[in-house]
Amino acid sequence: MEKVIYRIKRFDGTKEWYQEYEFPYEKGKTILWGLIKIKEEIDPSLCFTSACRSAICGSCGVRVNGNAVLACKTSLDKMLETYKTNKLILEPLNNFKVIRDLVVDWEQKFERMKEVKPWLIPSKNSDKTKGFKQSEKQFNMIANPTDCILCGCCISECGQLSINREGFLEPFIFSKSYRFTVESRDEAPGEHLEPALENGLWKCIRCMQCVTKCPKGVRPAEHINGLRKESMKMGHRDNKGARHAYAFHDDIQKTGRLNEMTLPIKTEGLVSTMGRIPFALRLLKKGKIKPFNMPKPVNGIEQVRTIYRLAQNQKEER
């Protein structure tokens, strides 16, 4: 391969267009190398952000062929090989306001992040002269979310955020919330958790894009699950998400299968479910639901119940 082409989405503050740049291929380079080459040798007007070139500062997140990557950590060879082409499409991260070309606006994201108070709230009585010790186990609880470098890759590809930008926090904010909710030295876990609960904690659709796209191996989807568990432990059980989880739990324990007839009532309550009657009637007409067929216990239900018992015993031992 002699030439590489970057087709870059440009934005000058008013209009958008795609512009192609061609430059000689060099082995062993990164996506960021190509951007810097264009800016230094072809078009100084091209805008993008980068600083450390070591996958630490998080400023070089971009989309390559529709997937968010950290430009300084992503091998150009690997991208060309993956897409079997010498032309790559580079765009700004999705789910952000674009300022110019590949530069996105973090202002609003940082404002939302502050809602979960991503800082330690130590006990007022703690003796600061003695430090704040943690056991290895306690540290391991926060090790993964602590690796977040605020690159925005999880935001860009989040399925829920793409359709619900206002009612759902950015995945990395849930990770920040979790990091301080389970922090052993923190005095006020509810102050980190409750804003997450009020801003879509139960709305994650488990597309797992935040996990697969994170260049640092942070697992926001796992932290969302952790926060849900913590919220239930704190007594936040009277919301749709928690009720839905309990309905699953109870049905499976009872019969080994879901009762689709009672699930909406248990989750949303009788009054809200009434609004779904026309839809239920259509399902009934098509034979999709059978209201009088109550699920019978599956074969091997005793084994299912044993799993429940073991899980419950483990929980109590912890």
What SS3 state is found at 5?
Answer: strand
Nearer to ligand FES, 4 or 72 (CB): 72
Measure the CA–CA gap between 191 and 178, rounded to whole angstroms. Answer: 11
CB 130 → ligand FES: shortest distance, Å? 36
Three-class DSSP labels, 200-242:
CHHHCCCCCHHHHHCCCCCCHHHHHHHHHHHHHHCCCCCCHHH
Shortest spacing between CB 104 and ligand FES, in angstroms: 14
Residue type, 55: A
Residue number with CB closer to ligand FES (57 or 211): 57
Nearer of residues 71 and 197 to ligand FES, judged by Cβ: 71
Contacts to ligand FES by CB under 6 A: 50-53, 55-60, 70, 72
Q: How far is the CB of 74 from ligand FES (least distance, A)?
A: 9
- The C-alpha atoms of residue 134 and residue 137 are separated, in whole angstroms, by 8
CB of 245 to ligand FES, least distance (A): 37
**H/E element holding 87?**
strand 87-91
The minimum distance between CB 114 and ligand FES, in angstroms, equals 23
Q: Which amino acid appears at position 243 of this protein?
A: R
Minimum distance from CB of 40 to ligand FES (Å)? 16
Residue 179 has which token pair? 């990091």
3-state secondary structure 20-51: EEEEECCCCCEHHHHHHHHHHHHCCCCCCCCC
Q: CB neighbours of 139 closer than 8 A, spacing ≥ 6?
A: none
Closer to ligand FES by CB, 148 or 252: give it: 148
Q: What is 132-170 written as a DSSP string?
A: ----HHHHHHHHHHHT-----HHHHH-HHHHH-SSSS--
Nearer to ligand FES, 145 or 200 (CB): 145
Q: Which residue, 53 or 100, has its beta carbon nearer to ligand FES? A: 53
Both tokens of residue 119? 């800082």
